Amino acid sequence: MDIADLLGPGQVVAKLKATSKKQALQNLARRAAEITGQSEDAIFKALDKREKLGTTGVGNGIAIPHGKLPNLDRIYGVFARLEHPIDFDAIDERPVDLIFLLLAPEASGADHLKALARASRLLRDKSACEKLRGTDDSEALYALLVDTTASWAA
């Protein structure tokens, strides 16, 4: 599974404005609703439900919030670089500035896990994250995410 399978050019936000975890998730749910055709409220509730199980702030300024929805036809992603880092209850207690949101159909099973693994593998690469943090242009972020995926895929 490639990042391009999860993200399209309109699914990258270069300067997401948020002052809290809740606001970031609400803003991402709004963007995801536009992309998926699903209800913004249903998306936010799925993300919030998952966050209540434990934080998706994985450390090093990265969060990978995710949820499952009954009416999705495939896995969708939204990538955001926050305008300013925020507290996300991350496991290392550091603020988050890179978020890769994933939404999957309820019955996605292994594909959902593959998508999470793919996003995680990408964002564990310090060089990749430095490049992502080095631009505030959506098109450049998208190009970095998809064009260099092969070199980050190891």
C-alpha distance across the termini of the chain, in Å: 13
Other CB atoms within a 10 A radius of the CB of residue 120 amount to 13
For β-strands 12-16 and 62-63, DSSP reports them as: unpaired
84 carries an active-site annotation: no
Nearest to 103 by CA among 58, 64, 67: 67
Residue 114, exposed/middle/buried by CB under 10 A (0-12, 13-18, 19+)? middle
Catalytic residue among 6, 11, 58, 66: 66
Helix ranges, the chain (H): 21-36, 40-53, 110-124, 126-133, 138-147, 149-152
Pairing of strands 62-63, 57-59: antiparallel
Q: Catalytic residues, which ones?
A: 66
